[in-house]
Amino acid sequence: MKKQYLYLFLLLFASNGFAQNSISIHKQAIVVDTHGDILFNQIKSGIDIGKLQKTGNFDLVRAKQGGLDAQVFSIWCDEKGGYAVANQEIDSLFSLIKRYPDKITLVRNATELEQAVAAKKMAVMIGVEGGHMVENSLDNLEKLAQRGMIYLTLTWNNSTSWASSAAEETSGKVKPENAGLNNFGKQVVHKLNELGVLVDLSHVGTKTFFDAIKESKKPVLVSHSCVYALNPVARNLNDEQIKAVGKNGGVISLNFYSGFLDSTFDAKQKIFFNKYDSELKTLSTKYGRSNAIDTLISLHKADADATRPSIELLIDHIDYIVKVIGIDHVGLGADFDGAESFPLGIDGAADYPKITSALLKRGYKPNEVTKILGGNFLRILKANKGK
């Protein structure tokens, strides 16, 4: 009996020691998330993300709880919107900063980011998701950079006249001979390099991806994507693309969305939707499809949770990239408030410490974990901005 008690004591001690070490590493690291769809939802619903929210994945209270030091706020609209909407969302972000100057601050480069962390404020950055928002104007692009844009995602799901998207390349909407960057698209990449704005290659088609890699003289970012070999969806990167990012010196930030992580998720979600089909139709009529899905999930949490993958699958995607191109090319881009499902235990911005714990349990060393959490992103931000 004494040996059993001793074993349990040692196990408890070791477990507590690991937890303390994990918390310490997380606090010491600069934690950066390179993609969150928070602003569009804020404008749409009028919520105040400075206060704790019962819905969604992100607010400043949960971000602080999760030790998040820097968040790139996605400036996004569908293909019906453009430059005016981009500026409206940036205005909304500036208004948020004015309301909470003691908690958050706008940063434009790595030096300012590190200064914000030292001042115990969350660093706020601007990422424009979709080249359609510059409306074929290098002047508009430059004005967005002047307002603080630190990256431009060349396409969203829709293609532009100068760059083809992954969604439209794979659907056949864009013919192979018209895929990739045209001359203006190449000018966009060159202009981004000149301005010190990161070229973001999430969402872009394969042809656009390789054209942009060829044209960029600076490290690129893939702000919220996963590994095609582990889940073959159009938004994920194949091995050739992963190797190209490594050769370029760039960073791939892992998306937390279940549908990009788990190859079985779509089938499980379809079963869930079929089970509650009549309810989903009623909710869709009342709230619209996207809000209806979120509501349905909240009403049937146990069944919805059964469709979600383990956090270990997220670490598998990180492992894969590390094995192919090394530890210096991985980051985090959760896509919070931009998707309806994430791994079990990852419900929002308060849960970043669970990623640190999972990485340490997988065998990553503390200095490697700090690179993944934000160090790698800081490196390419400095490489693009020069400071």
Please, what is the angle between helix 352-362 and helix 2-28, to 10°?
120
The residue written with tokens 């400043």 in the block is: 60
Alpha helices in the chain (DSSP H): 2-28, 39-45, 60-65, 83-99, 110-118, 138-146, 166-171, 183-195, 206-215, 239-248, 258-261, 265-275, 277-287, 289-299, 301-305, 311-325, 352-362, 366-370, 376-385
* DSSP summary character for residue 386: -
DSSP SS3 for 36: strand
- Among residues 113, 39, 21, the alpha carbon closest in space to that of 76 is found at 39
Distance CA 151, CA 167 (A): 20
pLDDT of amino acid 266: 96
Residue 259's region, left for phi above 0, alpha for psi from -120 to 50, else beta, is alpha
Please answer whether residues 295 and 217 qualify as being in contact, where contact means their C-beta atoms are separated by less than 8 angstroms.
no
Alpha-carbon distance values, 333 to 6, 117, 338 (Å): 43, 19, 11
Count of Cβ atoms closer than 10 Å to residue 41 Cβ: 20
pLDDT of amino acid 14: 46
Angle at 320 between CA 23 and CA 384, to 5 degrees: 75
What's the CATH architecture for 22-262+309-385? Alpha-Beta Barrel (3.20)
* DSSP summary character for residue 227: B
Digit-by-digit pLDDT tens for the chain (387 residues) are: 455 544 444 444 445 555 668 999 999 999 999 999 998 876 667 789 999 998 889 999 999 999 999 999 999 999 999 999 999 999 999 999 999 999 999 999 999 999 999 999 999 999 999 999 999 999 999 999 999 999 999 999 999 999 999 999 999 999 999 999 999 999 999 999 999 999 999 999 999 999 999 999 999 999 999 999 999 999 999 999 999 999 999 999 999 999 999 999 999 999 999 999 999 999 898 878 878 898 999 999 999 999 999 999 999 999 999 999 999 999 999 999 999 999 999 999 999 999 999 999 999 999 999 999 999 999 999 999 988
Distance CA 248, CA 35 (A): 21
- Among residues 196, 202, 179, 194, the alpha carbon closest in space to that of 131 is found at 202
The residue written with tokens 């931000």 in the block is: 381
Distance CA 76, CA 97 (A): 19
Domains in the chain: boundaries: 22-262+309-385, 268-308
Please answer whether residues 254 and 223 qualify as being in contact, where contact means their C-beta atoms are separated by less than 8 angstroms.
no
Amino acid at 52: L
Task: For residue 120, count CB atoms less than 10 angstroms from its CB and return exposed for 0-12, middle for 13-18, buried for 19 or more.
Answer: exposed
pLDDT of amino acid 4: 55
> 52-75 in b/e burial notation, b at 16+ Cβ within 10 A?
ebeebbbbbbbbbbbbbbbbbbbb
Distance CA 246, CA 239 (A): 11
* DSSP summary character for residue 234: T
pLDDT of amino acid 43: 67
Enumerate residues 6+ apart whose C-beta is below 8 A from 252.
222, 225, 237, 242, 245, 321, 329, 330, 331
pLDDT of amino acid 13: 43
Angle at 172 between CA 166 and CA 177, to 5 degrees: 90
